[in-house]
Amino acid sequence: MNKNNNKTGRIVVEVVMVLLSLLFLYPLFLTILNSFKSFSEVMTDVIALPKHLVFSNYSYVWQFINYPKLFMNNLVITVIGLLGIVFVSSIAAYKLARTKNRLSGIFYFLCIMPMLIPFQSIMLTVLQIAKKIGLSESTWGLGLLYWGFGAPLAVFIYHGFVKGIPLEIDESATIDGASGFRLFFSVIFPLLKSVTTTIVIIDVMWIWNDFLLPLLMVNGSPDTKTLTLAAYTFVGQYTSDWQYAMTAMVMAVLPSIVVFIFLQKYIVKGVVAGAVKG
């Protein structure tokens, strides 16, 4: 009887999860669907299948927004952001986890507390400071800003994982002559591979598809725009080319979706490992 109940419960859960998945995927489906329509078809019926597939939308958007240039902008911003987040957060989390005193606990709290602060409440201040120190209207400057916004979550995840690494490993490495950065990068950091992969995937999805921060920082010049900002250029105050906007959005998010599909198994693996070890 219990086996039948458990089986029925699993089936119900699976059905609910499938329905929720379809619900979340439906907007993406509509976006892809309308990217192959003409303007008149989009305005006539958004949810209808296209009468004729308009592949020219993609070639037009590719040339109009200069897709290769904007792709490189996204790549530079994402790579700079990821390198800084992983480097700073892993070292900070390791030091905080290995230092057992009240001051360390206070610093750890200060490191993760920014996760609770809405970006909208500080964005104007960040914009003013970025302009004063020369980080605005620059792809590398935007990448540096992501260090501060991405570090709190990364420190939180790294910290829980590092606490599960035996202290004896550090002591053995110290006896063998390793210390400081050499100890961390040669001994500890390789053990953080799974959780680092999780952080990289989460931040790639976030940085690559971010809209608000690039809108504030790099929207002043076509040479520094990102792919998501380019999609917004097709939406005007009085007229909007929705077919091109949908096409640009598909082309913008496609690289991050591909990364997620190939590396999604590491997300759960890394988060679970950090939770268990912590």
Q: Residue holding tokens 């993760």?
A: 112
What's the pLDDT at 87?
95
245-263 residue pLDDT tens:
999 999 999 998 888 888 7
Q: Would you say the C-alpha torsion 210, 215, 218, 219 has a positive or negative sign?
A: positive
User: Mean of the pLDDT values across residues 57-82?
Assistant: 94
Domains and CATH numbers, the chain: 64-277 (1.10.3720.10)
d(CA 174, CA 157): 25
201-245 residue pLDDT tens:
889 999 999 999 999 898 877 788 999 998 888 887 677 888 999
What's the pLDDT at 93?
93
CA atoms within 13 A on the CB side of 178: 14
With contact defined as beta carbons under 8 Å apart, do 249 and 58 qualify? no
- pTM reported for the whole predicted model: 0.86
Q: Residue holding tokens 């997620």?
A: 260
Burial of 62 (0-12, 13-18, 19+ CB in 10 A): middle
d(CA 268, CA 195): 9
Q: Does 276 score more than 50 pLDDT?
A: no
SS3 235: strand
User: Mean of the pLDDT values across residues 59-69?
Assistant: 93
Q: Does 278 score more than 70 pLDDT?
A: no
